[in-house]
């Protein structure tokens, strides 16, 4: 192996150590083209032999990326002029396969007795993997920071160590206010407490957690978040961090709630529709049979409703139904289920009431409606059938008895309550 004369006494073991290290050593004259006088054998990792430089078949200008070459040369020239001892740069070096490697380069200046730089003694290390890792991290950081998803990273104890801008914008909390705190600062009291336990049980077991949760912003408003929390493992296999990514799905939830409401509500009166009432009735029958509960059923119908429509028009008839629905809804308890059974017929499921108390409530409703002055129609009356649930009977039998009671009220002159 060729050696520079000033290194002739360098022990062979040290040269061997250098040539088997990751650090490439070079020594060149500080003149045009920086002629190489020594280049360690391990430069061959880039696909070239030192001999190509000794024989002037290659120079650093052939290998340094054009965008880095000017900066490298100007940095060296400025450092030499400024009397500095060394200069460091990170540059791209073209390998024999035409791909570029990133290298960290440090050049030390050798001066003569007059202080003039005569040689450059340098070392370089391939840092391509580190640069690529950093670039990937930079890309990840930009993506996370610019994404519309709500991103937070917590340590194993659940303290937030990173929050992106989207999460700050959504919650109204600043990065300073959230870092070091636990995500529970965002938890709404509307959130099911069981979900929190399920969440931690899942992620501490090393599994990915996915669910829809309700969080609260700094101003007190709430939002629904479709969240995914993934554990990040240390090289040793232990959990080090948890990464949470979420989407604000409040609008979708609101739309779904509206659709659900449309599916169970009557569009004219905004009371429950027949389909929903039937589902409630089925559930209450099962509950009554299981726990020996009681409940009543009140079915009422507007007297002479056809005449109202024929005389005053359907708009007035619709207004009568709307006003009647509002009045009765305000009168009954929140637990009672009131709905439009069909046409001008209404059904009330009176929870926890026996037959006697159901009859009293029915009479109260009759008097209430009889005392209202309906716009365009004046005074309107209703006929009411009331009954109580009998243990073991089905929905059809219960409804039939209420309907028979209503028929009896009409038959006996209307504007009255009958019970069976």
Check pLDDT > 70 for residue 12. no
Q: Are residues 33 and 111 in the same domain?
A: yes
Check pLDDT > 70 for residue 382. yes
Which secondary structure element, helix H or strand E, spans residue 381, and what is its range? Answer: none
- Report the percent of the chain where pLDDT is more than 90: 68
Of 230, 253, 276, which one is at a domain's C-terminal end?
Answer: 253
Q: Are residues 37 and 87 in the same domain?
A: yes
140 within domain boundaries: no
355 within domain boundaries: yes
Check pLDDT > 90 for residue 7. no
Instruction: Collapse the DSSP code of 3 into the 3-class scheme (helix H, G, I; strand E, B; otherwise coil) and give the result.
Output: coil
What is the reported pLDDT for 255?
A: 87
What is the reported pLDDT for 13?
A: 63
Q: Are residues 104 and 14 in the same domain?
A: yes
Q: What's the angle, vertex CA 92, arms to CA 86 and CA 93, rounded to 5?
A: 95
Tokens of residue 104, six digits: 């960290």
Alpha-carbon torsion (322, 325, 329, 330), positive or negative: positive
Tokens of residue 69, six digits: 């070459």
Q: Are residues 402 and 339 in the same domain?
A: yes
Check pLDDT > 90 for residue 5. no
Q: Are residues 64 and 174 in the same domain?
A: no
Check pLDDT > 60 for residue 318. yes
- Report the percent of the chain where pLDDT is more than 70: 94
Check pLDDT > 80 for residue 235. no
Check pLDDT > 50 for residue 407. yes
The residue segments making up the domain with residue 270 are 265-419
Of 71, 99, 132, which one is at a domain's C-terminal end?
Answer: 132
pLDDT category, 173, cuts 50, 70, 90?
A: very high
pLDDT category, 6, cuts 50, 70, 90?
A: very low
CATH of the domain at 44: 3.30.450.20
Neighbours of 396 (CB within 10 A): 8
What is the reported pLDDT for 131?
A: 85
Determine contact, residues 285/398, Cβ cutoff 8 Å: yes
Query: What are φ and ψ of residue 234, in 5° steps?
Result: -75, 160
Determine contact, residues 75/89, Cβ cutoff 8 Å: yes
Q: Are residues 278 and 370 in the same domain?
A: yes
Calculate mean pLDDT across residues 216-243: 89
Q: Which of 2-16, 241-255, 280-294 has the lowest mean pLDDT?
A: 2-16
Q: Are residues 152 and 246 in the same domain?
A: yes
What is the reported pLDDT for 191?
A: 67
Check pLDDT > 90 for residue 410. yes
Q: Are residues 167 and 90 in the same domain?
A: no
Q: Are residues 248 and 340 in the same domain?
A: no
Q: Are residues 127 and 167 in the same domain?
A: no
Calculate mean pLDDT across residues 281-285: 93
What is the reported pLDDT for 294?
A: 93
Q: What mean pLDDT value characterizes the chain?
A: 89
143 within domain boundaries: no
Calculate mean pLDDT across residues 373-401: 94
b/e string for 116-138 if b means 16 or more Cβ within 10 A? ebebbebbbebbeeebeeeeeee
Direct distance between the N- and C-terminal alpha carbons of the chain, in angstroms, rounded to an integer: 115
234 within domain boundaries: yes
What is the reported pLDDT for 8?
A: 47
CATH of the domain at 343: 3.30.70.270
| Cα 341 from Cα 343, distance rounded (Å) | 7
Q: Are residues 241 and 372 in the same domain?
A: no
Tokens of residue 53, six digits: 């430089």
168 within domain boundaries: yes
Of 103, 132, 161, which one is at a domain's C-terminal end?
Answer: 132
Q: Tens digit of pLDDT for each residue in 319-373? A: 999 999 999 999 999 889 999 999 999 999 999 999 999 999 999 999 999 999 9
Q: Based on the structure, what is the number of domains in the chain?
A: 3
351 within domain boundaries: yes
184 within domain boundaries: yes
124 within domain boundaries: yes
Q: Tens digit of pLDDT for each residue in 61-105? A: 999 999 999 999 999 999 999 999 999 999 999 999 999 999 999
Q: Are residues 58 and 14 in the same domain?
A: yes
What is the reported pLDDT for 14?
A: 64
Q: Count the helices and strands in the chain (H runs, E runs).
A: 14, 17
């Amino acid at each position: 192996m060729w050696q520079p004369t000033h290194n002739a006494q360098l022990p062979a073991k040290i040269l061997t150590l250098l040539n088997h290290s990751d650090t490439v050593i070079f020594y060149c004259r500080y003149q045009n083209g920086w002629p190489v006088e020594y280049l360690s054998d391990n430069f061959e990792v880039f696909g070239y032999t030192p001999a190509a430089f000794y024989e002037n078949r290659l120079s650093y200008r052939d290998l340094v990326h054009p965008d880095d070459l000017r900066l490298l040369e100007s940095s060296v020239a400025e450092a030499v002029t400024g009397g500095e001892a060394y200069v460091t740069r990170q540059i791209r070096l073209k390998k024999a396969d035409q791909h570029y490697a990133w290298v960290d380069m440090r050049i030390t200046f050798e001066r003569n007795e007059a202080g003039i730089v005569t040689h450059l003694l340098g070392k370089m290390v391939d840092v391509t993997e580190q640069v690529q890792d950093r670039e990937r991290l930079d890309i990840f950081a930009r993506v996370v920071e610019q994404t519309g998803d709500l991103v937070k990273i917590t340590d194993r104890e659940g303290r937030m160590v990173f929050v992106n801008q989207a999460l700050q914008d959504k919650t109204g909390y600043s990065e300073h206010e959230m870092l070091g705190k636990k995500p529970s600062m965002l938890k709404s009291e509307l959130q099911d407490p069981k979900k929190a336990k399920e969440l931690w049980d899942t992620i501490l077991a090393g599994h990915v957690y996915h669910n829809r949760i309700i969080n609260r912003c700094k101003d007190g408003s709430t939002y629904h978040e479709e969240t995914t929390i993934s554990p990040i493992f240390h090289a040793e296999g232990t959990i080090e961090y948890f990464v949470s990514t979420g989407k604000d799905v409040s609008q979708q939830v609101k739309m779904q709630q509206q659709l659900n409401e449309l599916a169970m509500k009557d569009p004219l009166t905004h009371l429950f529709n027949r389909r929903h009432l039937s589902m409630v009735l089925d559930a209450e029958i099962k509950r009554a049979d299981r726990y020996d509960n009681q409940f009543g059923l009140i079915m009422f119908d507007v007297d002479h409703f056809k005449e109202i429509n024929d005389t005053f028009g359907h708009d007035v008839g619709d207004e009568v139904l709307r006003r009647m629905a509002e009045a009765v809804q305000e009168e009954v308890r929140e637990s009672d289920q009131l709905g439009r059974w069909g046409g001008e017929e209404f059904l009330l499921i009176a929870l926890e009431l026996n037959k006697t108390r159901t009859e009293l409530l029915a009479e109260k409703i009759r008097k209430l409606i009889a005392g209202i002055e309906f716009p365009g129609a004046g005074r309107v009356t209703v006929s009411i059938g009331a009954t109580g649930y009998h243990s073991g009977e089905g929905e059809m039998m219960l409804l039939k008895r209420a309907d028979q009671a209503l028929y009896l009220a009409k038959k006996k002159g209307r504007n009255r309550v009958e019970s069976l």
